[in-house]
Amino acid sequence: MGFIQEFKQFAVKGNAMDMAVGIILGSAFNKIVTSIVQDIIMPPIGMLLAEVDFKNLQVVLKSATLDAAGAAVPAVAIRYGAFLNNVIDFLLVALSVFVIVKFMNRLILKRETPKA
C-alpha cells in the first residue's frame, strides 16, 4: 500500500477527525476560559486588593535603563502576576474538563446499565 493511500486512510478515520474537532474546540474553549479569568475573575480580586492589576504584579530585579547609544534597555522583572493568571486559567480549564468527563461517564454508565 502506498504512502498516499495510507495517509488517506488515516486522515479519514474517525479517530483523526475526532482529534481535529477536539483540538479546534479546545482552542476556542481556551479563549473563553482566558477571558473569564482575565475579564471577570481577576478584576474583582484586584479591586479587593487595593486596585491591583494582577498582570502588572512583578518584582523588578533591574530597572529599565538607557545604554551608551541612548537606546532603552527594558527592565528585568519576575512577573508573578501573569503567572498567577495562568495558574487560575489552568485550574479553571482542569475543573471544566473534569466536570465534562464526569458528566460523559455518567451518561455512558446510564446507557450501558440495563433497565429493570
Tell me the pLDDT tens digit for each residue of 14-65. Answer: 677 777 888 888 888 888 888 887 788 878 877 887 777 777 788 999 988 8
CATH topology of domain 3-112: 1.10.1200
pTM: 0.57
Please answer whether residues 33 and 96 qualify as being in contact, where contact means their C-beta atoms are separated by less than 8 angstroms: yes
The tens digit of pLDDT for each residue in 58-74 reads 899 998 888 888 888 88
Please answer whether residues 53 and 81 qualify as being in contact, where contact means their C-beta atoms are separated by less than 8 angstroms: yes
DSSP-derived letter for residue 108 is H
- CB neighbour class for 41 (10 Å; exposed up to 12, middle 13-18, buried from 19): middle
User: What's the chain's average pLDDT?
Assistant: 81
